[in-house]
Amino acid sequence: MSDSTPIFNDRNTGRSKLINPTLVLNCGSSSIKYALISEDESTRITGLAENLGLDTARIKHTTLNGEKLEITIPGGRHELALQKILALLEQYHFIAVGHRVVHGGREYSKAVRVDQHVLDEVKRLKILAPLHNPANALGIEAVEAIYPDIPQVVVFDTAFHQTMPPVAYRYPIPKALYEEEKIRRYGFHGTSHAYVSERASTLTDTKGPHGWLTAHLGNGCSASAVYNGESLDTSMGLTPLEGLMMGTRSGDVDPSLHIHLKRKLGMSLEEVDTMLNSESGLLGISGLSNDLRTIEQAANEGHKDAQLAIEMFCYRVGKYLASLSCALPDFTGIVFTGGIGENSSTTRARILDVMRHFGINFDADKNDELVGGAEGNFQEQDSSIELWVVPTDEECQIAKETRQALGLK
């Protein structure tokens, strides 16, 4: 992109604001989310490439001064989108690239610099994350092709949970399946759980070490028990399907459901897998949508299935949080995050009502105020635990871990 390109008004001021920036890439199966974040984490450029591979493929880019741009790339796939994104950002001279990678297996417990072995492992582990790891590898290779001298780091979704003890990560199945096939609980949303638990420990007046239950609630949902900065247990398992009820994922079901549906309805394993991942959860119960806002509106208008979907969602989250508290030596509080956790005060209240035996008391007015990116606590003074809403910032966490892996500030 030449210096005469007119779409940037922040060209000169941007360089001074974005000191030693890190580029964060999150390559999904049909999208790429990206952020360019300054060394002090105070300034960033963000964007999203979506609908990749379709005629409606496009890049939505926000400049430093807040200008919104949209670039259409009909039929464009990951490689073309990444080329366009890197061209948009080349003027800012990023010093490193951090990639969110969904699955790191059990080999990686922290962010690592990319070399051929790491790239090969990301590709090999597609067997555990077939929709995401191949896209993550494409992102790494695309950057390497254009900027071979810029260091790259992979930050694994699963890495944060590698501190879980065997009692939490092993399945009660034959030992050979664990040793030979690596079948165990891995957990996901690691960067989010790491960020919000660390942030809560910074915000609280309670002296550490701290024991947090972190509830990442959005279209994808998971909960974790984090003590002294380490994950001791989490709701997701071998795949992101295990655990909480989500937007389109069922969460926990009877493992024999697969064989029952095969015998009764003739459904294949692939059909059952698609149903549990894409047609269940809030969407499956409500019959309306995977978006809680739509379901809440219908519930308020008397829609019975929408009401049930909300009740089930909150009951299952509350039940899971209660069980995860068993992993904590000390229980400091609960941290809500994610699109639902940050913005639905009624959902937070319903979840806490499920946990009514814990002696939790909260200020309803404060709870209602904590929406739309607000950060704060809302417990009453006599509450047995603290209650926090902390907007997650996975991009910031990935940038931080990328710099740490490279020995940068």
Q: What residues contact 354, with CB distance under 8 A and at least 6 apart?
A: 314, 315, 317, 318, 319, 322
State the DSSP string of 355-393: TGGG---B-HHHHHH--TT--EE-B-TT-SSEEEE----
Both tokens assigned to 344: 């639905």
Residue of 33, 23, 63, 58 whose CA lies nearest to 45 = 63
Q: Is 406 helix (H, G, I), strand (E, B) or coil?
A: coil
DSSP label of 44: E
Q: Which residues contact 165 (CB under 8 A, 6 or more apart)?
A: 232
115 carries an active-site annotation: no
Contact 344, 291 (CB under 8 A): no
Round to whole Å and give the CA distance between 3 and 8: 9
Angle formed by the axes of helices 116-124 and 133-146, to 10°? 150
| Dihedral in degrees, nearest 10, Cα atoms 200, 208, 169, 318 | -50
| Rounded distance between C-alpha atoms, residue 106 and residue 158, angstroms | 8
Q: What are the tokens at 221?
A: 């949902």
Which strands, in side-by-side order, build the sheet including 32-37?
A: 68-72, 58-62, 44-50, 32-37, 22-27, 96-101, 152-156, 112-113
What are the backbone dihedrals phi and psi of residue 147, each rounded to the nearest 5 degrees, phi first? Answer: -125, 70
> Among 157, 233, 252, 291, which one carries the catalytic annotation?
157
The dihedral formed by the CA atoms of 335, 378, 380 and 194, expressed in degrees to the nearest 10? 20
**What is the CA angle 329-155-374, rounded to 5?**
65
Indicate the residue type of 399.
A
Q: Is the CB of residue 136 less than 8 Å from the CB of residue 100?
A: yes
Alpha-carbon span 34 to 50, nearest angstrom: 11
Show which residues are catalytic: 157
